[in-house]
Structure 1
Amino acid sequence: MLGLTEADVSAFWVTLKLAAVGTVILIILAAPLAWWLAHTRWKGKVIVETLVAMPLVMPPTVMGFYLLLWLGPNGWLGGMLESLGARHLAFTFTGIVLGSMFFSLPFVVQPLQNAFSAAGARALEVAMTLRASPWDRFFTVILPLSRRGFLSAFVLSFAHTFGEFGMILMIGGNIPGETKVASIAIYDHVETMNYSAAHALSLVLVGSSFCLLMLIYVLNRRFKVVGAL
């Protein structure tokens, strides 16, 4: 596979799994928050919006450091799991999934919030007068009107996770087959001056990122044309 070693392929698949699992879970959990931000009139909403946007400006290593403390054996979540007889989440795949979800939060919440705001309340009011249940209103009204927002949220979060390095290294370390992602594998190659291997894996990531971004442009344009019809 383009001159990649077995370890590189393993790191790439860990990256794919991390991006897919983290993005799907994050969209499910973040959609209610985005809906609330789009419709609430609470004056303190700006505080929540600022907290959601913090990963955009916060250094990844800073976020990774505090998540490591939180997920580790002496942290709030990690310590609670240890007291229940379970293993803490630092240096585990579950731990880097949680970390990637925090780091990609604005890339999901903001597109969904904008989509929910653009959808307006008129269509929901009509559905309510027809006695549609909340689930019916979501799947037949909200989801179709917000599908471009959901698509943007998925692709941006997925692509963003592809290139993450500092935060994942802090909370996941460099465990092959579990927490070693492609960006860390590239760093290892550069550190050992194996530039050809670093170049090969970098090309795979660049090509994957390009295809993901092109997909969002193509599908958004298609949805726009369908909506106009």
Structure 2
Amino acid sequence: MDWMPIWLSLKLACCTTLVLAAIAVPITYRLSEFPNRLTAIWKAVVSLPLVLPPTVLGYYLLMLLGPRMGLGKWLAESWDYQLLFTFEGLVIGSVLYSLPFMVNPILSALEGLPEGYRESAYTLGKSKWTTYWKVLSPNVRSAWIMGAVMAFAHTLGEFGVILMIGGNIPGETRVASLAIYHAVETLDYASANRYALILLVAAGSLMALVYVLQRRWNRLT
């Protein structure tokens, strides 16, 4: 059995989750602490990948990262570098596609906190950023864990976006989901079954872990 697709899937999921954790901080801070008339629109934009067909997002990423226009053209002309059909390109696509799985649980938890938390912090002279980082975020730690695990698990099973912008290059962009697709195409059902079983066990274990952690955290709080 070729373990490279499994390794690439884990590597992609780890990189994507780390990037999303960093991105989630400014996004949730801005949307929760500075609500305005456009907040609903920005929330809709963040949640768009939940309802958007992967092929649509993959198509626009293909145009953006391609060598003929957008970011891809600038990289090709300025640095002689391309993101299409590379692992780095997969990370960009995965970050965009898994964004709501990381942001939405955190944002919902922040909005569900009693307003007294903010008012008490402001009364003590704390800034909005200090209130968010040192008062609110620690009280929604379970949501951060939930978001990270959901983003990780979702990335493990990505297919459409990865296929469109990464192709199916062995050792470079052929993650486990694509390995299943390739095995079925070549009628290698034994390999397809092994890869599918590994992903099934991994996803099930991750979901069980997040609910156990959430239960323990609720008991502590």
TM range (shorter): over 0.9
Q: Scaled by the length of structure 2, what TM-score is found? A: 0.92
Structure 1 equivalent of residue 76 of structure 2: 82
Q: How far apart are 1:30 and its partner, in Å? A: 2.3
Residue number among 46, 50, 68 corresponding to 2:44 in the alignment: 50
Structure 2 equivalent of residue 112 of structure 1: 106
**Matching of residues 208-219 of structure 1 within 5 Å:** 208-219=202-213
Do the aligned partners of 2:29 and 2:132 also contact (CA within 8 Å) in 1?
Answer: no
- Bigger shift: residues 209-218 or 116-125: 116-125
Do the aligned partners of 2:58 and 2:160 also contact (CA within 8 Å) in 1?
Answer: yes
Do the aligned partners of 2:33 and 2:128 also contact (CA within 8 Å) in 1?
Answer: no
1:173 aligns with 2:194: no
- Bigger shift: residues 132-141 or 100-109: 132-141
Q: How far apart are 1:45 and its partner, in Å? A: 1.8
Structure 1 equivalent of residue 220 of structure 2: 226
The percent of aligned pairs where both chains have the same amino acid is: 43
Residue number among 202, 206, 209 corresponding to 2:200 in the alignment: 206
- SS of alignment partner, residue 79 of structure 2: coil
Residue number among 92, 99, 106 corresponding to 1:98 in the alignment: 92
Distance 2:122 2:32 in 1: 19
Q: How far apart are 1:132 and its partner, in Å? A: 5.5
**Could you give the per-residue CA deviations for residues 189-212 of structure 1, whole angstroms, max 9, x where no partner exists?**
111111111111110000000000
Do the aligned partners of 1:35 and 1:116 also contact (CA within 8 Å) in 2?
Answer: no
Structure 2 equivalent of residue 24 of structure 1: 18
Q: How far apart are 1:121 and its partner, in Å? A: 4.3
2:15 partner letter: V
Distance 1:169 1:89 in 2: 14
- Bigger shift: residues 108-117 or 124-133: 124-133
Do the aligned partners of 1:64 and 1:170 also contact (CA within 8 Å) in 2?
Answer: yes
Distance 1:63 1:70 in 2: 10
**Could you give the per-residue CA deviations for residues 174-225 of structure 1, whole angstroms, max 9, x where no partner exists?**
1122211000000111111111111111100000000000011000000000
Do the aligned partners of 1:107 and 1:156 also contact (CA within 8 Å) in 2?
Answer: yes
Distance 2:120 2:58 in 1: 46
Structure 1 equivalent of residue 60 of structure 2: 66
1:126 aligns with 2:126: no
Q: How far apart are 1:119 and its partner, in Å? A: 2.8
1:170 partner letter: M
Q: How far apart are 1:152 and its partner, in Å? A: 1.0
Distance 1:121 1:31 in 2: 20
Distance 1:68 1:195 in 2: 30
Q: Scaled by the length of structure 1, what TM-score is found? A: 0.89
1:206 partner letter: L
Q: CA RMSD in A?
A: 1.8
Unaligned runs of 5+ in 2: none
Distance 1:191 1:25 in 2: 33
Q: How far apart are 1:36 and its partner, in Å? A: 2.2
How many residues are aligned here? 221
1:207 partner letter: V
Structure 1 equivalent of residue 182 of structure 2: 188
Q: How far apart are 1:61 and its partner, in Å? A: 1.2
- Bigger shift: residues 32-41 or 194-203: 32-41
Cα pair distance change 1:89/1:56, threshold 3 Å: same
